[in-house]
Amino acid sequence: MIELIKLSDPVSIQILRDALESKQVIFRIDNAGMNALMPLPTVMDARVLVAEEDKLAAELIVRDLELNL
């Protein structure tokens, strides 16, 4: 698994999760929801990890959703 993007907005995380699932991209999200427990919102962003073979497809999805890479 390789890191695709870091996100702190829970809505963006859910939108990306739904898009990756719909395209059957193998992924994992680490630290989702942890930023709510931290005093500063960006201390522990969620990390979206994807399988190496799905990296290109996942990057295209991120671009289509206009999330920053």
Kindly give the confidence (pLDDT) of every residue in the chain, 69 residues in length, as a single tens digit, with 9 standing for 90 and above: 999 999 988 889 999 999 999 999 999 999 876 655 555 555 678 899 999 999 999 999 999 999 875
Q: How do the domains of the chain map onto residue ranges?
A: 2-64
CATH code, 2-64:
3.30.70.790
**What are the Cα distances from residue 64, in Å, to 59, 61, 68?**
9, 5, 10
pLDDT of residue 22: 97
pLDDT of residue 49: 97
